[in-house]
Structures are given as C-alpha cells and as structure tokens.
Chains A and B, each alone.
Chain A
Amino acid sequence: MKKYLTFLWDCFRLSFVGDWRYHLWMTLLTVVTLAGLYAYCQQLVHGLVATGMTDQVSWGLYIANFTYLVGLAAAAAMLVIPVYVYRNLHLHDVVIFGELLAVAVILMCLLFVTVDLGRPDRFMHLFLRFNFPMSMLTWDVIALNGYLVLNLHICGYLIYCAYCGRQPSAVFYVPFVFVAIAWAVSIHTVTAFLYVGLGGRPFWNSAIIAPRFLASAFAAGPAFIILTLQIVRRYTSHQVSDDALLTLRRIVQVALLINLFLLVCELFTEFYTDSAHVASARYLYFGLGGQNALVPWIWTAVGMNVVATTCFMLPASRSLGTLNAACVLAIVAIWIEKGMGLIVPAFIPTPLGEIVEYTPTLHEVLICLGIWAFGLLVYTIFVRVSVPVLAGQITYENRRPREGARVP
C-alpha cells in the first residue's frame, strides 16, 4: 500500500515537471478548464437557462460532445485489436496510449453528462432506483463506468508494474484487454441505442445509427491517436515507429470508407422515399420553413469527410504532413456530423411540427471547451507520467535519490 501511495505521489510530482513548452501547454489548458469551471458555476447558479437549450431542442452541445467522445473512447481501445488479436506488433508499444486516451475521454464523457443534468445533486438517485434493463441510460451508465474501471485497471496495472520494476503478469491484464475490446464496441452501441429506441424521433429511429456510430468512431479515434502519437514521439523519449502510424492509417481508411457508404445509405433512404419522416433530414441538409442554420455545417462536414476519405485512400497520405491534414479533416468532420448533424436535427421539427432553432450560448461553449481542456490536461499528465515510468526511468527503487538526498 505504501508503495502504491508513493507511486501516486511520484506521479503527482512528475506531472509538474517539464520544459517551458510543457508548462505553457499545461497552463493554457488549466486556464481554459478554469474558465469552463467558472461558466459551469454560473450554470449552477442560474440553471440550464444559461444554455441555449429549450423544450423544443432539449439536448444540445453537451450531449453532442458526449456522443462524439464516447466514440473516441471506444475507438481508442480498438488499437488493441491489431495487437492482441492479429499480433500486429507495430502497435504494441502504443496500445497503452490508446488505453490512456480512453480513460481521459471517458472522464470527459461523464463530465458532459453531469453538466447536462438539471439536478446533478440528485445523481445518487441512480443508485437507489435504477431502471435497468428498460432504460438505455442505465445501460450507458454501467457501460461507461465499467469501461473506465477496466481501462484504469489495465493502464494502472501495467504502469504500476513498471514502477515496481516487475514484469506484469499476463493473467492480470490480458483477459481484461479482451473484455475491453468487446466492451468498447458495447459502449458505443449502447449510446447509439439511446437514440435509436425512440419512436417519436424518426430521424433517430433507424437501424443504421448504431453502425454509423461505430464506423465514424473508428475513423475519428485512430485519427486522433495518429496525431497524439506524433506529439508523444516529438516531445518524449518514447519511440513510435512509422509502421504504427501506417497501421492506424489503414484502420482509418477502412472506417472512413464504411462511414461514407453508410452516409450514402442514409441519405438515399431518407430523400428517395421522401415521406413525412424526412423532415429532420430535410432541415439538416436543405433547411425547412426558411430555417437553415445547420445547412452550412453539415455540407462542410460532408465535404471534409469526402476530402479526408479520398486523401486517406491516396498513397500521398503515407507522408506524415498529408496524413496529419487528413486526420484533422476527419476528426472535425465527424465531430460536426455526430454532434450538430445527429443530435440537434432530431429535435427540429418537434414531434408537433414546430421549428425552433438551437444556438449554444457562450456559457455552454465555454463549459464544453473547459471539459475538453480538462480531458487533454488529464491525458497529457497520463502521457507525461507513463512514458518515463514504462521506460524504467522512474521506479520505486530510484525514488530515494529523487527525494533530495545527496548523490555523487
């Protein structure tokens, strides 16, 4: 136990150590997180009226970000598949970063749900009366928290073993890794089922939502990891081979193609049928009743998606510059598609045909940025801590010299 507390203390101290770029990055993230915290406190004081949500559009930016990040969390753990299932050792050394990203991102998801609640002080009601298995939200609570615990265990165990200087024993993490693979798929499927099971929202009530979720998640997640691995490579001593990045590129290629295909399927089904159920899709892509706030967003997203997919398919994306640009395009496009392009249009028009558009307020945006900054902060700390510990530079044994005793 004492060793574990020392480990945590060492991690804590280590997260404050770095060069000026590190401090600048962390300070920037801290400032944004604090701004988000400030905006959330204002929301606590005044209520959810501080957001742009209404009875007509009752879920907005928070749930949009939540949906996107659940996908990211699912995909982060999917790095595991090539390594553990297909024995693709290119990715072996970077799996841990995927798992750590999953932890940070799940924390962000939980925060997004918390800030969306009207009465967060009553969250413990979930433990007292839990509408399982009828409510998909309860499944989501179990799935997300279970996933968090799973990944915390896997990462924590591996890092702690490295800290203690002993070989991790396979039985304590390999089975959990395989469970995490299945669990990763399930968290995003369950989140998709939250929306799919509602007959009153025809925009969501489609079987294709869950596969689209997974496809876009497996595009955005590995794209995000491609970018973060390059940052890890540049600013830490951890080696990341180009082969790892190219393997991830393959994953993103396939996922983007499938995502684009599913988008085409959805558009065809909606617009060719041209029934009353198409109203929300019509609002999103073309505007409805003169209201068309989301139209530029979605077409930008579709355009970026197509460009990113094309880019990824071309050999030119083997070069890191093009690859990075295509990754950014994919990440942003999928964020728009899943956030504004999925959550908000389902509420417009309302089930009674009213059109009330949604614009997030500044407070809402600040809270979202704050949570994103917090997640990046947590992830940076994870990377900052795990790289030297896994490399054997920070261990329990060599802690004594680090406590200020004289060394030659």
Chain B
Amino acid sequence: MADLHARTESDQTPAAAAPELTRRNFLSQGAAALAGVTAVAAAVSPLRHLSAEHVPNLDEFLQKHYKEMTAEDKQRVFARISQEVQQRHQVQARLSDPPPLDGVEYVYGLNLSRCIGCRKCVHACVEENNQSRSPEIQYIRVLEMEKGSIDLETADHHYDPASVPNPDKYYMPVQCHQCANPPCVKVCPVEATWQEPDGIVVIDYDWCIGCRYCEAACPYWARRFNFADPQIPSDKLNPNMAYLSNRPRERGVMEKCTFCLQRTRVGRMPACLEVCPTGSRKFGNVLDPNSEVAYILQHKRVFVLKEDVGTIPRFFYYFDERGGRYREPVASPDVGGEA
C-alpha cells in the first residue's frame, strides 16, 4: 500500500489546504499560467512581421470560386486586383476575363527538327505571364536530348554552350500540355484547377490552398508553386492580364502555362510562339480543318510524351528531318575564285 502511494503520488486528491497554502497555490498557479501565456506569446511573436498584404481581408476571405462568381463579383475582384497592381507596381492593369471561344479546341505542335534550343520562348513566356524572377519560375523547360533517345532521363536541362543547336542533339521544350485527361484536375481536393471547354486547364489562384498534390500528379513537371513572394520588376510587368492566367499571383498558390489565354482567346498567338526564331511552334484550333495544326496532325508523324500514362496531351511533337541538322562546311564553294 505504501509503495503504491509512493508510486502514485500523482493520483492524489487534494485535501484541505491551509490559507497560507491557498495563497501560495494561487501565486504559483498564477505564475505558471502567466509563464505559459508569455511563452506562447513569445512563440508567436514572429507574426508581428506579417505584412498586411499577406493577411486576407474579409472580401478575399469570402471570395467565391470562379465558377460561382457573378458578374458583379468578378468586377469587384478585378477592381481589387487592379488596385493591388497599382499599389505594388504603379502600373494600370487591364484585367479581362475572356471566355472560351465556341467551336475552338487548342492544340500545340512542336517541330523538333526546327527547335534550336535558344530558350527565347522560356523568357518571352516569363515576361508575358508576369512570372516571378526571384525565386525564378519558368513554365517552359527546354531539354537537350540525345539523338536516338526520347528517354527524358537522358535530358540535360542546364546546357549552356557557346552556340545552339549542337548538331548531335535535339531540343524539346516542355510546358503544360493541357491534357484531355488531366491528372492534376483529378487530384485537386478543392477543384481549384479544371479544364475549360477550349482545352486549357486553368487555376483559380484565389481558390488554391497550396497542397501541391497537383504538382506531384503532373507527369510533365508542368506546374509551379509560389514558395516565396513572387518578385516581378515593375518595368517588365505585362498590364494585359486575365484573371485565370497572367494576373499577378501570391505566394502559396500554384500556377502554370495557360496557352496565354489572355492572348489566344482573342485570336492571338501565344508569346512563346511569337518569339520563336525558327518557327518550330505551331498553335491553332484543331477543330478547324484549315488550320496549321490540323494539317500537322494529319500529315506529320506526331507523338506525345509519356503516352502510356494516359493523359492524352494536346501538345504534339514531331520530327521533320530533311537531311539532318547541318554542320557548317569547312570551306565554302569557290565563288569569286578562278573558274
């Protein structure tokens, strides 16, 4: 019994406490409580550095999902975003919400025989879509591939020769393929990403909770997460913005290539295609039988990446070799010399 008491002094019930002990009890309990509260306050003290822009106001907190927003809701949201852009960059943003065009389904073609790996598309995309420069976010990744292999394990992402193309390699730019069976859409727990009728997979940046399940699910490593506050130089900000594509994002949400829907949904070419010097990029409406992409799908030997994963991408690669990549001749034919 005695040792039971000794072992179980924690199982005590309090007996009467003499008045002095009550005061001491009060003091010691008070001290402990105060110490606890102080320690917790100290632990959360870093929050004093949390800037106001990172704390959602009531409007942002109650903002609905894009698909449920009425026209007035959208106006309010666009006004808020424009105001934020004005405050942060002193630039007047033109925020639009172009709907998908009827009878249009986009397809992207990429001529691997023409891509020289110059990476101009990467940087044109960054400028057009207001991507963060530090930390660096780039939707497009150009792979330098070994000729004879389409195994992405052999790719070099960080090639930096004096000049491209290297005649022994070929170059494969990869970005979001806007798959017809997108695994990212399947896994999003809050439906923050979905596929629009024209094929583009979009993200509602104000709905995403940042769980990054979609980033794990994408077989093409096409989705990017804002781990830090995105930094965009104000003089490079593209003011022509769409809510679902290139309006500035905040940290903690996903983003990705949207086929420049702020341009393509009004009929323009995407930025990556515009800048490509060799014309290896082809874009258009596959439902139009007279489009460039319809011709390519019909006449070129197109293939997709990781077809076996079943994503049904709408980004088609093809080779168009005719004599192979030329190496410069050692001596030029003699024009201007003796006959």
User: Interface on A for B, CB 8 Å cutoff?
Assistant: 16-19, 22, 30-31, 34-35, 37-38, 41-42, 44-49, 51, 53-56, 58-59, 113, 116-123, 125-126, 128-131, 134-138, 141, 194, 197-201, 235-237, 276, 279, 346-347, 349-354, 384, 387-388, 391, 393-394, 398, 401-402, 404-407
- The answer to whether B65 has its CB under 8 Å from any CB of chain A is yes
Interface size class of B (residues with CB under 8 A): 35 or more
CB–CB A406/B207 < 8 A: no
CA distance A272 to B209 in the complex (A): 41
Q: Which of A44, A350, A406 meets B16, CB within 8 Å?
A: A406
Contacts A55-B225, A130-B190, A352-B174 given; indicate if A393 touches B210 (C-beta within 8 A). Answer: no
Contacts A58-B212, A117-B210, A121-B61 given; indicate if A352 touches B11 (C-beta within 8 A). Answer: no
CA distance A391 to B54 in the complex (A): 50
Q: Which of B9, B32, B40, B152 meets A19, CB within 8 Å?
A: B9
B247 to chain A, nearest CB (A): 16
CB–CB A53/B209 < 8 A: no
Q: Which residues of B contact A404 (CB under 8 A)?
A: 14, 16-17, 22
CA distance A126 to B189 in the complex (A): 7
CB–CB B45/A41 < 8 A: yes
CA distance A161 to B310 in the complex (A): 55
CB–CB A125/B143 < 8 A: no
Q: A22-B10, A129-B190 are in contact. List 13 more A-B contacts (CB 8 A).
A: A38-B45, A46-B228, A49-B227, A55-B225, A59-B212, A116-B211, A119-B208, A122-B190, A135-B188, A236-B11, A279-B153, A353-B155, A388-B8
Q: Taking each of B4, B189, B220, which has the highest tally of chain A beta carbons within 10 Å of its own beta carbon?
A: B189
Contacts A129-B191, A236-B8 given; indicate if A407 touches B15 (C-beta within 8 A). Answer: yes
Q: Which of A51, A237, A352 meets B152, CB within 8 Å?
A: A352
A356 to chain B, nearest CB (A): 10
Q: Which of B65, B207, B226, B309 meets A199, CB within 8 Å?
A: B309
A116 to chain B, nearest CB (A): 7
CB–CB B47/A49 < 8 A: no
Q: Which residues of A contact B186 (CB under 8 A)?
A: 134-135
Q: Which residues of B contact A407 (CB under 8 A)?
A: 15-16
- The answer to whether B43 has its CB under 8 Å from any CB of chain A is yes
1/0 contact trace for B177-215 toward A, CB 8 Å?
000000100111111100000000000000111111101
- The answer to whether B339 has its CB under 8 Å from any CB of chain A is no
